[in-house]
Amino acid sequence: MKVKKVPQRTCIGCRSVRGKKELLRIVRTPEGQVLFDPTGKKSGRGTYICPSVDCLEKALKGDCLAKNLEVTITQEMKEQLRAEVNRIVDRSL
């Protein structure tokens, strides 16, 4: 019997490698929107981040998020992402 491999992804904030299901996917849609993709199936350019505010802040501060998604991150987008991460973290506690 074959053992199925668990897909691994790297968090752009802390650079740790974890299972794909443990991380949050942020996607830039073809329309240019930047949003969370809870299903992991939305079309567009995606990147992964740990479900922590610290990792999001590191990604935003170092411009890693903007580079990976190939888009300029506006202040409004940053606030929206922060609110969403806080909501996800609060729900998991």
| Secondary-structure class of domain 9-92 per CATH | alpha beta
Q: Per-residue confidence of the chain (93 residues) as pLDDT tens digits?
A: 788 899 999 999 999 999 999 999 999 999 999 999 988 899 999 999 999 999 999 999 988 999 999 999 999 999 999 999 999 888 877
Boundaries of every domain in the chain? 9-92
> pTM here?
0.89
Question: What is the b/e burial string over 46-79, where b = at least 16 CB atoms within 10 angstroms of the residue's CB?
Answer: bbbbbebeebbebbbeeebbbebbebebeeebee
Largest interatomic CA distance in the chain: 50
